[in-house]
Chain A
Amino acid sequence: MPRVAVVRFPGSNCDLDTLRAAEGVGADAYLVWHRDTDLRDADVVILPGGFSYGDYLRSGAIARFSPIMQAVQRHAAAGGPVLGICNGFQILCEADLLPGALLRNAGLSFVSKPVDVIVERPDTAFTCDYDSDCRLRLPVAHGDGRFVAAPDTLRMLEAEGRVVLRYVAATERSPFQPNPNGSANHIAGICNADGNVVGIMPHPERAADRLLGLTGGSGFFTSMVTLHQDS
């Protein structure tokens, strides 16, 4: 079973949910404190959602300087899988592990609701259990989730197929819940060039249990196990 390190920053608030979801698929999951410098032989690193350092200054801007982030950088550089969820995605962008930035939602308000996304990259460590172009319903809950990048960067992300998750577009009378925050190209999640670092705004850990009404997120966690067993 993979060893999954969930990094806990001051202000993280999805750390325990993420830990439970990883444990739920049998992973050997544990919390790592942001002041630690060692990931304790993690196979997979997850930066969970929340408001690290209260999102003061800018979402994720202070967390990137936490001591543990050097270890995360090394893990990523060595090809180790890293998943940033929500605030974790913001931290990965601030830490230059992923391109682009996440700005205030287009509607200027926090938005908490289920949205529909399409899996466009079913070959990462976190999506290999999904079929290509399958549609998932996942909750979002964020104030700063509008993905933006320079035009060149956006073109590169699209050309290299680095959009992992995409919100469905808002179309007249669509039965689906569309892009909630005005993200460029309806981007909900991307990966780095090597595909091992993934950042997503929706919360798969809140959609991994039949009792909670949504189950579409469990693939993110089973994928880690699948990949680990294959390797």
Chain B
Amino acid sequence: MNTENYISKYCQIENNTVFVNGEKLFELKDVGFSEFIKNAYKEFEIEYPKFFKMDNLSKLAFVTSEIILKDVCEKDQENDIAIVFANQSSSLDTDVKYQNSIQDKENYFPSPAVFVYTLPNICVGEISIKHQLKSENAFFVFENFNTKFITNYANQLIKSRKAESVLCGWVEFYQEKYKSFVYLVSKDGLLFHNEKNINTLYNK
């Protein structure tokens, strides 16, 4: 389905590599995710101390989004950018960590700082706070990236004038297995916003 919306910028992070608009811009092999994402954060000159308190899913979603938004969001003015994210494992990576903190009654230490990240939409909140995006947002869970759903949902937000543009993405993280693919849908850009183009980019 062709629409008059476009994909104006996209970013992918997987296998310790960052691709921006299809171009490999950063790679750091043979390190774990924490080390990799910290270095990606530095490489793209992101300055945001709250980043270091985030869980892995939020770090992944935040850095991928930040690479797109840092040049798009206008400072000191409202940016009507909706956020629509999805993944497979929800917040399971942090859920397991939290469960381990309450499993053993001899060693019981539930922490609110961990518990708050046992919801997948927290990463959307983190990105909204960074850019003061008081905008439409939703988090969905699917077995696989549901291109048809996300494409239609984003188009409907723009069509119904609930958002000017939409930051869409698949942000999956579970125990070092991760993949993020985030793209900005707006009125102008590189590629038509349709299922075919998104599938092509996602599978690259």
Q: Do A and B come from one complex?
A: no
> Interface residues, chain B, CB within 8 Å of chain A?
none
